[in-house]
Amino acid sequence: MIEVVESRSVATGLSRVLAQPGLIGAGRTGICTNYTGVTADLRRGVDALIDAGIALTTIFTPEHGYWGAVQAGESDGDGVDEATGIPVVDTYLCEGEKLDALLRESGVEQLLVDFQDIGVRFYTYTWTLYDLLCSAARLGIRIVVLDRPNPLGGTVRTGPGLDAANSSFVGRVSIPVQHGLTLGELGRWFNEVHVPEATGRSADFDFIELDGWNRERQNPADSWVMPSPNMPTLTTATVFPAIGLFEGTVLSEGRGTTRPFEMFGAAWTDARLAAALNERELPGVVFRESVFRPTFSKWHGDVVHGAQLHLRDATAFDPITTGITVLQTIAELYPNESLWLPANPGRPPFIDLLWGSAALREGIHAGDDQRAILASSPATPQVPASALIY
């Protein structure tokens, strides 16, 4: 019989609770989770918690639903978990009074949070936690994060902050684009600083720490459970802080291909793109001419003659420099093409929400260099020392 052990001896918060159920309190207990909330042997955490004697009453789900079967901007809606009969409540795009009502109606007294974040500001699981903390503060519900490693490691914090005018579900409050924190550390920072600013009080917050995680390293690839449909590999997550910015452009960011956030382009890009990018000699990456036809999302059904980013050295890779440089290069090569997605009525352009301000869009339009763009962007926020756990 093959023994399955937790990769590289890192025990997640879930693993520690299963070994010591008394680490969490008594009372009606819900959990906000999805299919990434798994045990060391890849068993569903929901089932394992029930077997450990924790009587879960409600399962709350983030974007993509419990099983991650739906695409970006979608969720499964409410339902019942087939295996356990536990009610499933969809929290996607719920905040404020709407989310308060969902939690109140569930009757939970404490809420566990266990899903795999990827360490990037514009990944929405971060803001599901933030919204839950704000509701918990208003309602007097206890929040307990079952911590998991940051797959990008815990030492790199880079990218601009976010100004209040660009607050959205891809960035409620100002944190770096790549923040280098675990979900438990983010929860502590939010609860000490940002939740009181939003609600006037902190939530009753706790976290079950990781045992054995070294923030100097990334997650090992052999433990990767893809946290959403377009985040299939650790490489995808590593390049996401750079190419994720393409979601605010008319360019395909590779959705509808087997290499999302690695391949990119538009129907009007051509062979010049990869060649020009390689001339920039960006650290840790090279580019290859790539022709693809997205099966959905932007340019679906059209042939795109674009480029693929190949990650050669993750430690040398600079996502912010790469993201800015690729967008600048495209703007220079195709000056007659409109680059940015139009704004929704009453809202800033989506690229501003992703970047955190108008500085990237306006700087590229003006032909500014990277230093000028960063100088006009909100500064990289400093993480309070009290938020750091590991």
Q: Encode 228-277 in three state secondary structure.
A: CCCCCCHHHHHHHHHHHHHHHECCECCCCCCCCCCEEECCCCCCHHHHHH
* Per-residue pLDDT at 222: 65
Residue 4 has pLDDT above 80, yes or no: no
Average pLDDT over residues 26-52: 96
Q: What does the domain layout of the chain look like in residue ranges?
A: 7-224, 234-357
Give the model confidence (pLDDT) of 313-322 as tens digits. Answer: 999 999 999 9
In tens, the pLDDT along 307-366 reads: 999 999 999 999 999 999 999 999 999 999 999 999 989 999 999 999 999 999 999 999
> What's the pLDDT at 61?
97
Q: How would residue 220 be classed by pLDDT, with cut points 50, 70 and 90?
A: low
Predicted confidence band at 8 (pLDDT cuts at 50, 70, 90)? low
pLDDT tens column, 126-184:
999 999 999 999 999 999 999 999 999 999 999 999 999 999 999 999 999 999 999 99
User: Which class in CATH covers the domain with range 7-224?
Assistant: alpha beta
Cα–Cα distance measured from residue 198 to residue 193, given in angstroms and rounded to the nearest whole number: 9
CATH number at 234-357 = 3.90.1150.140
pLDDT band at 70 (very low <50, low <70, confident <90, very high): confident
